[in-house]
Structure 1
Amino acid sequence: MAKIIHPVAGAVALTTIVSFWLSTALTELFASYGSVTMVKSAIPWGFLLLVPALALTGGSGFFLAKERRAGLIGAKIKRMPIIAGNGILVLVPAALFLAFKAEATEFDTAFYAVQTLELFAGATNIVLLGLNMRDGFKMKGRFRTRQPDRLNTEPML
């Protein structure tokens, strides 16, 4: 069961974070303050999906890893405290602050400073979760390297 839960929960978590990031970036760049307020107010509600997905991903990952801590599993495990710390210490408080400020229509320097921090922290988590997904695919043999064509001995021009 963990072999099914882990990739599904990981994909849900990564997709949720990417949707938060893209909706934030796109509304900030191209939409009205009303749209920004709507997005900033909706993101904390998305935690109801994101937090369980991340917990299931982490828990099932540790279960699947058993006692192994080397190689790709070790790399994935080393990234997890950064992802979790970034989420708990930066992203969740930033999202709550930004929702509060947006609902009060206070689009001031503090709002944009925290928004910038949130975008950088979110991008960091997207990259780290993407690396974990890539390593999971490698462990399952989904990414195979191409073998050179040994039959073709003619030099390419």
Structure 2
Amino acid sequence: MNTSTLHAVSATLALLLIATFWTSTLVAELLLGADAVVAVKHAIARYGLIALLLTMAATGASGFALGRGRSGRLLDAKKRRMPLLGLNGLLLMIPAALWLDHKAGLGEFDTAFYVVQAVELLVGLLQLTLIGLNVRTGLQLSGRRRPRIPAQES
């Protein structure tokens, strides 16, 4: 598998994993019950995070390799989003997932649980948005999508 394909596949998998975590959490919370919430939190913490970390590492490593020696407005935009994605993941999303799994395992669905759950869902939307923007930019860089031309003022 070449670097470009690895980057595209790993970025797509990361996007799908985060979307799956987000959707599963929302469905469990709103439509199912405590047992489903516990199952979702356990699955994310015990299996999903490992898969996500591997896909994000592959995406980052292949992205750096593809961007080496290149510059430009589109690539610079992707590079500016990456630290925010990484910091959100490492400082907010991973600790929240592990803490929520712990609390759910104890059956402690208290105010703190739901506050952290709400923050995790909001930051998850931010992560989805940032990765989505990077996917769009990657398609533009690869020539598979034309760059959006800003409207000119008359």
Q: Given the two structures, how large is their TM-score scaled by the length of structure 2? A: 0.91
Displacement of 1:69 after TM fit?
A: 3.4
CA distance in 1, matches of 2:84, 2:69: 21
Displacement of 1:68 after TM fit?
A: 2.2
Of residues 69, 72, 89, the one that matches 1:87 is: 89
Structure 2 counterpart of 1:12: 13
CA distance in 1, matches of 2:4, 2:96: 33
Aligned residue pairs, count? 145
Structure 2 counterpart of 1:115: 117
CA distance in 1, matches of 2:33, 2:102: 17
Displacement of 1:88 after TM fit?
A: 0.3
Of residues 118, 127, 130, the one that matches 1:128 is: 130
- Structure 1 unmatched runs, 5+: 146-157
Of residues 43, 48, 51, the one that matches 1:49 is: 51
Displacement of 1:143 after TM fit?
A: 2.2
Displacement of 1:52 after TM fit?
A: 0.9
Calculate the aligned-residue CA RMSD, in Å: 1.1
- Answer whether contact 1:68 1:74 (CA < 8 A) is retained: no
Larger Rg over CA atoms: 1
Structure 2 counterpart of 1:97: 99
Q: Given the two structures, how large is their TM-score scaled by the length of structure 1? A: 0.89
Give the 4+ runs in structure 1 shifted more than 6 A. none
Structure 2 counterpart of 1:2: 3
